[in-house]
Structure 1
Amino acid sequence: MSIDLEALYIDLHQHPELSFQETRTAGIAAQHLRDLGLEVEEGIGITGVVGVLRNGDGPTVWARADMDALPVEEQTGLAYASTATGVDPAGHTVPVMHACGHDMHVTAMIGAVEQLVASRDEWSGTLVVIIQPAEEYGAGARAMLDAGILDRYPKPDIVLGQHVTPFAAGIIGVRSGTQMAASDGLTVTLHGRGGHGSRPHTTVDPVVMAAATVMRLQTIASRETDPQGVAVVTVGSIHAGLKNNIIPAEATLELSLRYPDDEARANVLASVERIVRAEALASGAEREPEIRTDHTLPPTINDVDAVARVTTAFQRALGEAAVIDPGMITGSEDVSWFARDAGAPLVFWFWGGVDPATFAAAVAGGTVAHDIPTNHSPLFAPEIHPTIEVGVTAMATAVREFLG
């Protein structure tokens, strides 16, 4: 009896869980893997799952899917939309949504494993399935590696992963070299001197300091980066004050930085530090600002030879026109830690989740940026079919390419 992948997807979509809290999702994935005959272990790197399918002599392939959701309130209007809430690390109750498609990643992985089990007389080797927590924190891969998975399971000859994205459903995007940018997450604390809102001259206002800092940070990409280069500096959150007539003592900014390589990273980080400290000085701050690195992710770099093999396999399975080079994506991933720590090649690709007619109309009208919701949007929702089927085919095809 085959697994009802649509029902699995809808169930996971309706029950999203925040990073390192994915106990229900992990349990469901683990049970499906057990039912398919894999050796399964749970609780690796807090909530991670590893399943092993040994099928004779041959290479070892690690196939990875992530499973955490985001603190986003779903606005898709779908009958199966999430109404779930969770508690974030600060102790706040927040809405939770699979706004990045990790529910689709788990679903496609389970479907691919089902296909591989059914066709095990046609391939030989070892498949290691990784259901990873906390990709959104950039911490889940590291947590599983720190838990010793390289020592506890067969080491990979290749690491594979995929991500649903706002391409037309049926399209696969993969490229050699840098597929996704490196990133850092920073928390900047600006120290002022608080006081009464009616007497601003007796204070050093960190809100004004923060506003000036945010505006100046935008010049890093627009005025300090070669127009042919890539740099993203996003201030994703600002926190300051509790009441309209109190000037607070400090303001906090949370930054997301993206770059293609180490040289660009060094330049952007130096610019951020220079600007933050200069704006604090210009504001008369009596205490140096604090800049804390919350996470660092390397660029996702695909192996040239392995990508050539996978591309050919995808073209055979899905048609030559279905496979494109999407260019470097400025989003970031932690999947490459698995390949880097193992010294193994990586192939990470994207597959489309938008109704093809809807996508074509947006392209024709020049409204893709406006009409096609992206990952992390409260409106993001992959078209169930054929997104599931293409994701299953892509993962199973890539695994078979290296275990054939």
Structure 2
Amino acid sequence: MTSDDERPRTPEGSGRPGARRVLPGLATLLPATTELYLDLHSHPELSGAERRTAARFADWLAEDGFHVLRGIGGHGVAATLSNGEGPAVLLRAELDALPVAERTGVPYASTVTVPGPDGRPVPVMHACGHDAHLACVAAAARWLAAGRDSWRGTLLVVGQPAEETLSGAVAMLEDGLYDRITPPDVVLAQHTASFPAGMVAHADGRVLAGSLTLEVGFEGEGGHAATPHLTADPLLAAAGTVTRLSTIVARETDPAERLVVSASSLRTADAGHTGNMIASRAVLHVTVRAFSEAALDRAALAVERIARAEAGSAAMPPRVTVARSSRSGVTLADPDVTAAVRSAHVAAFGPSRVTGWPATSATEDFPLLTGAGAHLHGRPGIRGAYWMLGAVGPAQWAAAPGTGAAEKFRSLPGNHSPRYLPSVRLTLETGTTALVTAALARLTDRAD
């Protein structure tokens, strides 16, 4: 599956600035890694249903001598490889895919569908790059297992379920993850994004936003569409709430504070609903993204206030309920760990292939495995580094409209797009090298 524009341009050992120094043994490792990636991409599974993906990942790690635990917090996988005294470093990747119909046109594109709640088929696609993350972690684990003479300590590997629903990390922790494995000193992870493959990007401080998802229910007396005056119309109140949500950012938030409030779905909840009926229940999902816990809380209160006000303005007000279905904190780069990892990446790739990353409003449940999340589960002091991995091949980048990087970035298919597709060879090669060198930066060198 390697095209000419994906092949390395710089020979191993070149001393030129920005040259990519190929990880010893990587060429031998890439065919199996590529096969794993293509298999994962063709067989995606939704959050909480990652049975096949987890088994494939766990079997790979077991082959390399890891002690593997399965079924943690759902289909979560945790593996341990002990190699003498030293720090414990955890490499984390995600198992799940998204309900997206793939439109990439590649031979290995997903054609998977699963039954939806209404019985209709739901397409499934690895539209966020988790298949690449998993393949890179698997390859890095294999490289480190074979190269135990170059490090000492404990290598931990986690395949986390249900990241897309922001429920997998907490489920693994509540199922005793850090009681069942050696608690890590450091957790490392990466995420693909639409910038040139062969590059990595690090943020100073904030990497990704925190998020909060609200389920707002409107319930009233439905009835005949010909007599709306006799109903407490939940859909009308929900629609009014959607139109008012933009005022939270536009009129209630300091322009200097980054906040996103999005209505992500609105549906009626009546079984067998038809066009001549006014539904008795409507459900609105709202996602909030911000870079502080206080901003998330303020926005949540504003969403609830607006929903109750819209419902209350009707002659027959529907009842309103608000539930918080998921929450994740801000992903922060630990300064010391990130500095060490960034230095390792500069040494591996050259300075021109290591760039900065502006904080984005995408979100992750990665912070739960470190910082406050780990502290709540009795494991304070766990630090983390999280960087972005370029996934766009040279030909695709060159063909993208725009004269500068920012314009090209906006024009390329991003994460969660049905056309999102990492450049296979460069993404796997760079992602594996990035993880290995990051792990080695934290693991203690073995004394002769």
User: Match for residue 149 of structure 1?
Assistant: 177
Alignment partner of 2:292 out of 243, 261, 266:
261
1:317 to 332, 335, 348: 348
1:86 to 114, 124, 129: 114
Gaps of 5+ in 1: none
Please, what TM-score do these two structures have when normalized by structure 1? 0.95
Which of residues 77, 85, 90 is equivalent to 1:57?
85
Distance 1:87 1:158 in 2: 39
Partner of 2:319: helix, strand, or coil? coil
1:364 matched to 2:403? The reply is yes
List gaps (5 residues or longer) in structure 2. 1-27
The answer (yes or no) to whether the contact 1:18–1:88 under 8 Å persists in 2 is no
> Structure 1 residue 205: deviation in Å?
2.4
Alignment of 1:403 onto 2:443: yes
Identity %: 41
Report the counterpart of residue 160 of structure 1 in structure 2: 188
Partner of 2:8: none
Aligned-residue offset at 1:289: 0.6
SS at match of 1:331: strand
CA distance in 1, matches of 2:170, 2:75: 13
Matched, 1:232 2:260: yes
For these two proteins, the number of residue pairs brought into alignment is 404
CA 1:248 to 1:380, structure 2 compared with 1: closer, same or farther past 3 Å? same
Matched with 1:190 is 218
Query: Please, which of 383, 390, 395 is the counterpart of residue 352 of structure 1?
Result: 390
Q: How is 1:323-402 mapped onto 2 (pairs within 5 angstroms)? A: 323-340=354-371, 341=374, 342-343=379-380, 344-360=382-398, 361-364=400-403, 367-368=407-408, 371-402=411-442
1:335-361 deviations in Å (ceiling 9; x for gaps): 111113132111111101112343344
C-alpha RMSD over aligned residues: 1.8
1:313 shift after superposition: 0.8
Partner of 1:203: 231
**Residues 89-146 of structure 1, C-alpha deviations (whole Å, 9 max, x = no match):** 7766411111111111110001111221232111111100001111111111111111
The answer to whether residue 313 in structure 2 is matched with residue 299 in structure 1 is no
CA offset digits 1:190-240 (Å, max 9, x no partner): 123322212222223222222211010012122222222211111111102
Residue 281 of structure 1: how far off its partner (Å):
0.9
CA distance in 1, matches of 2:327, 2:35: 36
d(CA) in 1 for partners of 2:181, 2:118: 35
Taking the aligned partners of 1:376 and 1:298, their CA distance within structure 2 comes to: 21
The alpha-carbon deviation at position 287 of structure 1 amounts to 4.0
Change (3 A) 1:89 1:38: farther
Q: Distance in 1 between matches of 2:441 and 2:253?
A: 40
Q: Aligned pair in 2 of structure 1 residues 108, 90: CA closer, same or farther (>3 Å)?
A: farther
Residue 126 of structure 2 corresponds to residue 98 of structure 1: yes
Write the distance in 1 (CA, Å) between the matches of 2:116 and 2:356.
37
The aligned residue for residue 177 of structure 1 is 205
SS at 1:362 equivalent: coil
Letter in 2 for 1:187: E
Assess, with a 3 A threshold, how the Cα gap between structure 1 residues 368 and 278 changes in structure 2: closer, same or farther: farther
| Preserved contact between residue 98 and residue 126 of structure 2 (Cα < 8 Å) | yes
Output the CA distance in 2 between the equivalents of 1:385 and 1:214: 43
The answer to whether the 8 Å contact 2:186/2:384 transfers is yes
Alpha-carbon distance between aligned partners in 2 of 1:362 and 1:57, rounded to the nearest angstrom: 52
